[in-house]
Structure 1
Amino acid sequence: MNTLENRRLFLQNLAVGALTMLSFPSIEVKGNAPPQSNRLLDESQQLLAAWCQSLVNYQVQDIRFGTLYGGILCPACGRMHGRCGEAVYPLLSMAKRSKKQSYATAALRLFDWMERNVSLPDGSWSNDINVSSWNGTTVFTAISLAEAIYHHGDQLDTPTKARWLIRLRAAADFIDRKFTIEFSNINYPITAAYALQLFGKIFHDDKLIHHGQLLAKEALRFFTSTDGFIYGEGGGDRYPPGPKGSLPVDLGYNVEESLPYLVMCIVGEQNEHLRTSVVKSLKTHMEFMLPDGGWDNSWGTRNYKWAYWGGRTTKGCQCSYGLMVDDDPRFYTVARKNLEMLRACTHDGLLYGGPHNFKHGVLPCIHHTIGHANSLATLLDCASYDQFEKEPALLPREMVYGIKEFSDVRTWLISTENWVGTIVGYDREYSCKNGHPSGGSIGMLFHRKVGVILTASMTEYQLVEPPNMQAQHEFFSGSLTMRVQTSDGKYLSCSYLSPEIISFQNGSISKIITQGYLVDGDQQHPDTGPIPYKMQYVFQGQSIELEINIDGISTEEIEIILPVISQSNEAVEWSSDKTIEIQRATGRIAISSTQKMLIKPLPMHATRWFNFVPGMEAIPLYVSGTKAKFTISVSEA
């Protein structure tokens, strides 16, 4: 028997005595026995129930499977994710809400699996089994365990609760020792700010509380000066700006992890200085929610984890926007609309990694469900039904405002009577090159009647975090970003990090012009010399015009790529070699060009490209030549 096992046996023998030394504040689970119906909370509970039942279904419940016993299998990745232990909280929450012992039993099995497989002697948990030794994610696992005990410890017998508390204390001490504001990307120390304060409440330890409060105070330095984005999602070199001065910002991690945990630092606390900064930031990030509840993270530093509804390994936005509705009624709309998107992307009880994944036959990574189940459980445990008695409020992108520039991230948003658009000149990369698009690319083109028509993806799909991403096996799957490129695909407009972008507003007409050069991921020009491009976008009425001009190169060496978002079940009709129409249930999309349009090579027996970022299918249209003008319009179905 090794030293760690001896220590655990010793602690287990002391478990009952240790528990009697701890007392807990009285916890009111506000989601239980509601006095009245509330759509957000009622539907959150329904979705949480569906997700939790699937987690139970994918749990190995036969003890003969040895170390696999109690873990949750991932149908997409063919293994157990080390962080699947974070499901203990939503499972225990559902046990209390449903009065079904099966959920509590699943949580008990899962805790034991976690201790056998990913628990480390220093009090941390490993991110994965034999895949990744990273243990910074201990902070997320510890929060799930702490919230399970704090809100639903009455579902545990005395020895079990004591054992969980002892293990939580070891994790709390690890986080207290290791986490400073400089620890990894900014989402980690911000998460620790909440974690340490929660641990301090559970263990009546002022030292932990003060450390958490210090991290929350230090986090105030990481809000951008103009717009109030949280920055610090820059990879190994986390903080320096890009060549045009943009700081490292990722909308996905901000809205689904950093802001939710800062909100949790505020809930029940009198921290008005932190509250002012967080509310401003929530409002800024809200500008990027699409009318259907998707998040437009086409431009963020870590957009490689963008799954349209949010992020692949993050918590979700319900417990931030949902708990702050008293500060802005639009926050309720954010929480509701995103919940609707999560429901739309849920099939057979699991959250799929994008709107088209299910139809495309891509299996769901169970990590998405576990992370977002935690958000719903937190919302249900901390929200009051009375909070949501608000008048319906429109999202910013449901309003008509023309053009808004967000200078901190060099990104322009357009909102007209019919169109929602994003133009990206963001110049700060993560640890990989050719990640998010730049160069004045269209990050998002959304029509209010038919939804997404164009969107960006990763410029080059890369497994930046292999344990947390799905491999792209289809050979012909390509970038979904509209772009100009050399015919060999090496030099692209969307790779250029220093474009010049100007905008014009003339009544109801919104126009943006961008200029730059075709470059590779290292910002290098072709050996034959620089190739300048100019792109103009005009939004007016029911149509948008895209005009592209490239100078200094022969026609046959250039391709203009226009991947049009379209599910494979949508009817497509060519009325000429310059006009294609796509039929959706809510309208008919017509794309016409001044030049002959072709389709890039497709997988065998397939009619679409697919990209995991953000999980959509597209028809990869292209034009050979140095000049082209596209008109995109929408008519009645």
Structure 2
Amino acid sequence: MSLRINNNAKIIFVILFLLITSGNLHAQKDPYQTTLQSLCDVLLTTQINGPTDPNFGALVCPSLNPENHPIHSRAAEAVYPFAIAYKLTKEVRYRDAAIKLGNWLIKIQQTEGKNTGGWSESWPDPEQKGWHGTTTDQLISLAGAYAILKPWLSAAEIEKWNQSMSMAADYIVATFPIGNINYNPTGAATLLYTYKVASKPKQRWLIKADSLMHTSTLNYVTADNFLSGEGKGVDEGYNMAQSIGYIALYAILKNDLQIKQIAANLLKTHALFVYPNGSIDNSWGTRSFKWNYESGTKTAPGVYFSFALLADMDPEFGAAGLKCLDYLNTRAMQDGWIGYGPHAAEHASSSPPCNYSTFARAQSIALAIEYGPKTKIQAKSPSSSQDHNWYKFFPDMKVAVIRTAKMMATVSAYGEIRRYPRESVCRGGSITNLWYDGFGTNGFMQSSSSSSYQRIEELHMPIEKDLLSLTPRVGFTKDTTYYSNIFEADARMNVLKESDHVKVVAAGYMQTIKGVKSNTSYNLTQGFYEGYLTKEFTVTGESQKYSIVEPIVKDKGTTFKLKNDSTVVIKTAASDAEWELSVISSTIPYKITLGANADKYWSPFPGVNAYPVVISFNTVSAAPQTLKIFLGKK
């Protein structure tokens, strides 16, 4: 009897041990790998598997806007994530999906005409009028997958894949540098990578790769360690989510520590705009019209490989990458896809989302797994956004980032508009991003969007109704024409450290969206204290009715109530805390209005709703008039 009990006890002990260790192993599973598999799995659900279908192997986009379930040629970049998923798991479904997708990509390659060897991003494109620069993104994915899949390709497929890679590499050699600067480091890494895996590599690929890196990329590193050349200026999103990562990959493939250090220096500066919740602030960049919180831009690969490939250069990078990955998994997903932003699911125009962000991030994460550190990245290393009480001002760009105990904010007067139109960004010294600890679901209290929502890149931007900018601003309407500080491309800006706060001062002239200057100047002084901020507006010039517009990010359940003539009380569903926006001083009478045109305060980039608090006042002379507001926890 006792023997039977002992045997039963042993069996129970073994079962419990296996359950416990199994749970621990699951808990310790690499978050990059689990995220990669999750993204690959949702992409697999959209693959065309009918052998008789002319697009057999392609991925169908779930989006309905601006096109109804399109097939994007660039979705074939998922060939590499599928291959890496197979390498990690040995699950043949990933391998087979990768081979089918790669074969489809080769099938739609241009084989004649001015873009021979390239792929049009606007496929199908029989007249070759579309953009072919993204050929480099497709080639590096095809080459990366080929190195893994070759043992399972037929002899005919091996020949076709090599011919395709060679044609695409020759296209890059013939046409690059091209477009914005992100294509240069991407092209350099692509050519180097392809040279290493192709059956008949060409020396000219290496020559062009070195030229694209040294002449066309590294020559554009600024004194502040930004990379300039995206829209003829600096774009935080594309730099972090693409260019820096490919500079790092090039350095790894070349075993060039000097270039890798340059990439690390660049990332150190750009990482200042990683917010405490793991989001990326590209509110101020030249291509911010396509900004999202999760990686700074919709269509670049993603920040994950940039942080992972450079994690051995600075422990902060590994920790920041994990923080960003956590934001992706806990705050950016929409039915398995990466969405446009926190409130996108509430809008039919942006739901279901386009698959671009999902396959692009899968590619970035696959590169992070393959070329990142082989030891587990530590999540406990501090990052700048977790530290308190610091600021950084970049006077050449007129951009400041400020971190206090309870807040993080970006203020921008960056005026680069040579490539992309004036209405595509916001500036003038306004706050373009504001995170407040404990506010709402994600901490975002204020954000920004294009001055006017225009589909600058039609393929990537959904059709929308008439929208109003989410950016805080001051302005007036004269003869039906609107003038505001956010249209001022030449504002002056300075940052001062006071004893108990950081003061940001911006000044300029209110202008129209086309850049016509008014006779009204403005001075905007913003003070960032430990747990609140102030904004002081001074207008001088025309006698007009002015409006200060303060859009506040509005999660479901957030309420706004006028407490009195000078104070608005804001409550979110996330806590019992109350916040206040109040006028604390004014040289003139004013009126607060809540919710005017509230339905227009939404933008798919960065994917949030806002609720407008408008403070109106009239001037009767050219004399300066000043109004100061408080925003913070009650």
TM-score (norm 1): 0.85
Equivalent residues of 1:570, 1:584 under 8 A apart: yes
Shift of 1:505: 1.3
The whole-number CA distance in structure 2 between the counterparts of 1:391 and 1:206 is 42
Equivalent residues of 2:173, 2:204 under 8 A apart: no
1:108 aligns with 2:99: yes
Counterpart of 2:288?
Answer: 303
1:554 aligns with 2:543: yes
The equivalences for 1:394-409 within 5 A come to 394-409=382-397
Counterpart of 1:366?
Answer: 355
The whole-number CA distance in structure 2 between the counterparts of 1:129 and 1:381 is 30
Shift of 1:41: 7.2
Counterpart of 1:323?
Answer: 309
Counterpart of 1:49?
Answer: 37
1:414 to 402, 415, 426: 402
SS of equivalent residue, structure 1 residue 466? coil
Counterpart of 1:353?
Answer: 340
The whole-number CA distance in structure 1 between the counterparts of 2:27 and 2:145 is 24
Equivalent residues of 2:426, 2:450 under 8 A apart: yes
Counterpart of 2:209?
Answer: 212
SS of equivalent residue, structure 1 residue 597? strand
The equivalences for 1:616-631 within 5 A come to 616-625=608-617, 627-631=626-630
The whole-number CA distance in structure 1 between the counterparts of 2:485 and 2:580 is 25
Equivalent residues of 1:151, 1:381 under 8 A apart: no
Counterpart of 1:189?
Answer: 184
Q: How big is each residue's C-alpha offset from its partner over 1:381-419, in whole Å with a ceiling of 9 and x where there is no partner? A: 22343262x472222122224432112321111111222
Equivalent residues of 2:391, 2:400 under 8 A apart: yes
Amino acid in the other structure paired with 2:454: Q
Equivalent residues of 2:261, 2:313 under 8 A apart: no
Counterpart of 1:510?
Answer: 502
Equivalent residues of 1:547, 1:629 under 8 A apart: yes
Counterpart of 2:76?
Answer: 85
Q: How big is each residue's C-alpha offset from its partner over 1:486-521, in whole Å with a ceiling of 9 and x where there is no partner? A: 134621101101112222212231111211111013
The whole-number CA distance in structure 2 between the counterparts of 1:40 and 1:151 is 26
Equivalent residues of 1:197, 1:208 under 8 A apart: yes
Equivalent residues of 1:483, 1:562 under 8 A apart: yes
1:98 aligns with 2:85: no
TM-score (norm 2): 0.85
Amino acid in the other structure paired with 1:432: P
Shift of 1:152: 4.1
1:599 to 573, 588, 594: 594
| Higher deviation after alignment, 440-449 or 133-142 | 440-449
Counterpart of 2:7?
Answer: none
Counterpart of 1:26?
Answer: none
Shift of 1:96: 3.2
User: Residues 88, 590 of structure 1: CA spacing in aligned structure 2 closer, same or farther, 3 A cutoff?
Assistant: same
Counterpart of 1:147?
Answer: 144
Shift of 1:229: 0.6
SS of equivalent residue, structure 2 residue 435? strand
1:468 to 439, 457, 460: 460
SS of equivalent residue, structure 1 residue 467? coil
Q: How big is each residue's C-alpha offset from its partner over 1:200-221, in whole Å with a ceiling of 9 and x where there is no partner? A: 1113444322321232222454
The whole-number CA distance in structure 2 between the counterparts of 1:41 and 1:299 is 36
Residues paired across the two proteins, number: 576
Counterpart of 2:165?
Answer: 168
User: Residues 258, 187 of structure 1: CA spacing in aligned structure 2 closer, same or farther, 3 A cutoff?
Assistant: same
The whole-number CA distance in structure 2 between the counterparts of 1:256 and 1:424 is 21
Counterpart of 1:524?
Answer: 516
SS of equivalent residue, structure 1 residue 160? helix
SS of equivalent residue, structure 2 residue 524? strand
User: Residues 40, 356 of structure 1: CA spacing in aligned structure 2 closer, same or farther, 3 A cutoff?
Assistant: farther
Structure 1 portions without partners, runs of 5+: 1-35, 239-247
Structure 2 portions without partners, runs of 5+: 1-23, 585-589, 619-625
1:267 to 244, 252, 263: 252
SS of equivalent residue, structure 2 residue 572? strand
Shift of 1:147: 0.8
The whole-number CA distance in structure 2 between the counterparts of 1:190 and 1:39 is 36
The whole-number CA distance in structure 2 between the counterparts of 1:383 and 1:538 is 41
SS of equivalent residue, structure 2 residue 511? coil
The equivalences for 1:401-550 within 5 A come to 401-429=389-417, 430-450=419-439, 451-473=443-465, 475=466, 477-487=467-477, 488=480, 490-526=482-518, 530-550=519-539
The whole-number CA distance in structure 1 between the counterparts of 2:535 and 2:191 is 51
Counterpart of 1:61?
Answer: 49
The whole-number CA distance in structure 2 between the counterparts of 1:40 and 1:501 is 47
Give the alignment's Cα RMSD to 1 decimal: 2.4
Q: How big is each residue's C-alpha offset from its partner over 1:581-622, in whole Å with a ceiling of 9 and x where there is no partner? A: 12242543322235432135447xx5x721122111100221
Counterpart of 1:333?
Answer: 319
Q: How big is each residue's C-alpha offset from its partner over 1:280-319, in whole Å with a ceiling of 9 and x where there is no partner? A: 1110101111111111111111111111112111001111
The whole-number CA distance in structure 2 between the counterparts of 1:393 and 1:472 is 42
Shift of 1:348: 1.8
Shift of 1:70: 2.9
The whole-number CA distance in structure 1 between the counterparts of 2:312 and 2:26 is 16
The whole-number CA distance in structure 1 between the counterparts of 2:26 and 2:324 is 16
Shift of 1:554: 3.2
User: Residues 559, 283 of structure 1: CA spacing in aligned structure 2 closer, same or farther, 3 A cutoff?
Assistant: same
The whole-number CA distance in structure 2 between the counterparts of 1:73 and 1:128 is 14
SS of equivalent residue, structure 1 residue 593? strand
Counterpart of 1:392?
Answer: 380
SS of equivalent residue, structure 2 residue 517? coil
| Higher deviation after alignment, 559-568 or 625-634 | 625-634
The whole-number CA distance in structure 1 between the counterparts of 2:203 and 2:154 is 27
The whole-number CA distance in structure 2 between the counterparts of 1:470 and 1:153 is 38
The structure with the larger Rg is 2
Equivalent residues of 1:41, 1:380 under 8 A apart: no
Shift of 1:157: 4.0
User: Residues 151, 378 of structure 1: CA spacing in aligned structure 2 closer, same or farther, 3 A cutoff?
Assistant: farther
Q: How big is each residue's C-alpha offset from its partner over 1:81-130, in whole Å with a ceiling of 9 and x where there is no partner? A: 22111111112222333333332332233234334445443111111124
User: Residues 221, 273 of structure 1: CA spacing in aligned structure 2 closer, same or farther, 3 A cutoff?
Assistant: same
